Structure 1
Amino acid sequence: MKELQSLNDTNLVLAFQNGNLKALDVLIERYKDKLYSSIYFLVKDEWIADDIYQDTFIRIIDTLRFHRYNEQGKFLPWAARIAHNLCIDFFRKQKRKPPIVTSDQGEVRDIFDAIDSQVDNAEQKMMQQQSFGLMYQMLDLLPNDQREVIVLRHFADLSFKEIAVMTNCSINTALGRMRYGLINLRKIMTENSVVL
């Protein structure tokens, strides 16, 4: 298993396609948090996110098993695109538009850096949960296109080029949505005296 963990995504895919089921376990473990987070921030419901997350990996497994995967070296963006499309399908069924979020690496500070992901004790864990709760509420106040880009950039860790392809817009548009989304989040935080 340790030697599998040192393999890149392409080699893990090939190993799985050649019958090594442990290679799939490594891929799932490698990207489960990023994929689940991006799904959850789009649908905002734990149960729905769980279902879409499972459906995502069922589609991934089926595609790999039947040798239809051809995204050499781009496993995460490909998997995130599957998850994103499943979220859109869910919203179409619900007759609602999916929220989309982005982030900017320019002058605007990424407010997600303020939330520490390492928790040492119960008090810190509770404070972190409250911070994430506030973040969810503030993200809900953003326009859908800004929210989508922030989620895809920060939580799915996609590049702006990948986000642009996924959301059917130019890279500059994705960057602009991220910038305005972070500016709007800062305004919301200031107006509500929120400190993370």
Structure 2
Amino acid sequence: MEECDEILIKKCQSGDDTAFRELIDKYKKGAINAAYRMVNDRQLAEDIVQESFIRVYKYIDDFRGDSKFFTWLYKIILNICRDHFRSQPDKTPISLEDAPVSNLLRREIPDFVETPERYLENKELQKLLKEKINCLSFKHREVIVLRELQEFSYKEIANILEIPLGTVKSRVNAARSYLQDMLTNKETVVR
């Protein structure tokens, strides 16, 4: 945990509301971005983050510093996202339409000199990849978002999702395999 965060958290645990406001200011933008990547709705993402910070305030005394503060916050955000989608079974799948896929594409497309043709090809591939990510089940989508878009380590993902490290690796591998199959075969089946 960063030293600055450690000091702010200790102050928060002592009842310092100014320190809590500093934590909010420091992490609000990243938290909204993280929530938005899961729900693809700006207002809903802001609501989720607001609820997340309410929970952080309520349970700040339970934070032991075993992980980074943002990892703990992200876990809270992810749980609220899950709760939202459980309560909305008729909703369409989560869309990642506006999420950057540069990390996913790095494995698929080598660096080239950018020509107008390649630029258009890359844009089309990004759009297709985002559509295919939308077709994954939530458990596969969340590990791809955490690993490829949020760039969490496998260990951090295991901590956030509270699942074994092997399960994380298996799900990421399966999600990548499903994406590759869908991109190769042009399938859109949710797995």
TM-score of the aligned structures, taking structure 2 as reference length: 0.65
Separation of aligned partners in 2, 1:17 and 1:175: 35
State whether structure 2 residue 55 is matched by structure 1 residue 59: yes
Instruction: Tell me whether 54-63 or 30-39 shows the greater mean CA deviation.
Output: 30-39
After superposition, residues 34-53 of structure 1 pair within 5 angstroms as 34-53=30-49
Q: Kindly provide the CA deviation profile for residues 92-149 of structure 1, in whole angstroms up to 9, marking residues without a partner as x.
A: 22236987xxxxxxxxx942558xxxxxxxxxxxx99988755532211223322110
Q: Kindly provide the CA deviation profile for residues 26-73 of structure 1, in whole angstroms up to 9, marking residues without a partner as x.
A: 433443344323322322322222211111112112323xx3433455
Q: Residues 94 and 113 (structure 1 numbering): CA distance in 2 closer, same or farther, change over 3 Å?
A: same
1:39–1:53: 8 Å Cα contact kept in structure 2? yes
Deviation (angstroms), 1:13: 0.8
Q: Any stretches of 5+ residues in structure 2 without a counterpart?
A: 95-101, 108-119, 187-191
State whether structure 2 residue 133 is matched by structure 1 residue 177: no
Instruction: Tell me whether 51-60 or 160-169 shows the greater mean CA deviation.
Output: 160-169
Fraction of identical pairs, as percent: 29
Secondary structure of 1:8 counterpart: helix
Q: Residues 95 and 189 (structure 1 numbering): CA distance in 2 closer, same or farther, change over 3 Å?
A: closer
State whether structure 2 residue 75 is matched by structure 1 residue 81: yes
Higher relative contact order by CA 8 Å / sep ≥ 6: 1 or 2? Answer: 1
Instruction: Tell me whether 140-149 or 181-190 shows the greater mean CA deviation.
Output: 181-190
Q: Residues 73 and 110 (structure 1 numbering): CA distance in 2 closer, same or farther, change over 3 Å?
A: closer
Q: Kindly provide the CA deviation profile for residues 62-91 of structure 1, in whole angstroms up to 9, marking residues without a partner as x.
A: 323xx3433455312211111111112212
Deviation (angstroms), 1:187: 4.4
Aligned to 2:154: 160
1:34–1:155: 8 Å Cα contact kept in structure 2? no
Q: Residues 96 and 10 (structure 1 numbering): CA distance in 2 closer, same or farther, change over 3 Å?
A: farther
Instruction: Tell me whether 83-92 or 162-171 shows the greater mean CA deviation.
Output: 162-171
Q: Partner amino acid for 1:63?
A: Y
TM-score of the aligned structures, taking structure 1 as reference length: 0.63
Q: Partner amino acid for 2:158?
A: A
After superposition, residues 1-196 of structure 1 pair within 5 angstroms as 7-18=3-14, 19=16, 21=18, 23-64=19-60, 67-95=61-89, 110-111=103-104, 113=106, 134-190=128-184
